[in-house]
Amino acid sequence: MKIKLILAVLVCVSFTVSAQLSSDLTVVKQSEATPVKNQANTGTCWSFSTTSLIESTTMKDGKGEFDLSEMYTVRAVYTEKAKNYVLRQGSAQFGPGGLGHDVIRSIENYGAMPEGAYSGLLLGVRNHDHMKLDAQLKNYLDSLLKKRPVPANWMVGFQGILDEHLGKVPETFVYKEKTYTPQTFAKEVLKFKAEDYVAVTSFSHHPFYQPFILEVPDNFLNGSYYNLPLNEMIALTERAVQSGYSVMWDADVSNRYFNQNAGYAIQWEGSERPKELTPDLPETAFDQTSRQQLFESLVTQDDHLMHLVGVEKSAKGKKFFLVKNSWGEIGPFKGYINVSEAYFALNTISLVVPKAALDPKLKSKLGIK
């Protein structure tokens, strides 16, 4: 996620004050989801959205309802980013952003813990704010790289900064009267396996049905994504929800069409902003070519990650996706936003989907067992 997201929120609010709201949508299918949270003044949507996906998946699979710590994962990924940044001598991405697969990999390697065991908030602090933390971490690493050799114990200082801003991580914690480490909690309670999730995208500059390294700045560890034709990516998303699962959605939201304050993301036609936002507004046509052009011209960028939990339809039968955001309970739908199929098609960067939601034929095409 780009740090400009904070500005994007303000832009959305500024141009939606006069918009009239229509809620003429019928829910076709909606997956279970945990309550909306607020990432506040941080660039950690990737952790909030993917953690929410995992919480929903545990409910779907009958493992129970959990409130997992986003900041435990954020801290682990900060550490991975720092190692990568130092080894690449500063010629790499280091910042608050990340992608959905970072959470999957982090839980596999470092485990997980409940929010109650590690909130990432110091005593008396109610809302997350990482502006000073992000700047201090970056300055620390840049100062290290001015020296040769880099001090062997530099990670001690890095972890000290994280402790100062997020609090120390407990080595063990108690959950339902039993003591766990993050690793044993993920394995024994969540029964988490990274192989149960699949990362997907749709871009025509790489072969379809094969994985490729997605070229966005926050893909700092060069993670691969399975590449699907656009119509199959949309069908996969709908099938996942219809099967009772949900999807982590990575998209561009820094545009005039994404309107959290009014509760809609609609790719309406024309240059003039409509006076009234209704689900059945005429929308821009989309296809693989137009999607690709927007990506390669850097119009569509990796802005923000959210949790897609439902399929809806308008009075005239237009398809929408119901999406859980992580900006708190803002807007008429208390933190949710209704995303049209056209907006989804043109603005999606990537998805993380439970493997169980994939059609067997698609698994075969992708070589997934």
| Helix 70-87 and helix 154-166, axial crossing angle in degrees, nearest 10 | 150
Secondary-structure class of domain 5-366 per CATH: alpha beta
Are the C-beta atoms of residues 324 and 334 closer than 8 Å to each other? no
Confidence (pLDDT) at 137 = 98
Confidence (pLDDT) at 15 = 29
Neighbours of 161 (CB within 10 A): 18
Domain ranges across the chain: 5-366
Are the C-beta atoms of residues 186 and 169 closer than 8 Å to each other? no
Model confidence pLDDT, tens digit, residues 112-171: 999 999 999 999 999 999 999 999 999 999 999 999 999 999 999 999 999 999 999 999
Query: Which residues are 305's β-sheet partners?
Result: 250
Q: Kind and range of the H or E element at 26?
A: strand 25-30
Confidence (pLDDT) at 275 = 85
φ, ψ of residue 196 to 5 degrees: the values are: -80, 0
Neighbours of 249 (CB within 10 A): 27
Measured distance CA(67)–CA(85) in Å, rounded: 31
**What SS3 class is residue 199?**
strand
pLDDT averaged per 10 residues, the chain (length 369):
40 31 80 97 98 98 97 98 97 95 98 98 96 98 96 97 98 97 98 98 98 96 96 98 98 95 94 88 96 97 97 96 98 96 98 97 95
Neighbours of 151 (CB within 10 A): 10
Instruction: Take residue 338 and report the two structure tokens written for it.
Output: 């209704």
Query: Which residues are 263's β-sheet partners?
Result: none
Confidence (pLDDT) at 331 = 95
Confidence (pLDDT) at 277 = 84
Q: Which residues lie below 8 Å from residue 244, measured CB to CB, with a gap of 6+?
A: 29, 31, 60
Q: How far is CA 324 from CA 168, 246, 334, in A?
A: 30, 11, 9
pTM of the model: 0.93
Query: Which residues are 226's β-sheet partners?
Result: 200, 211
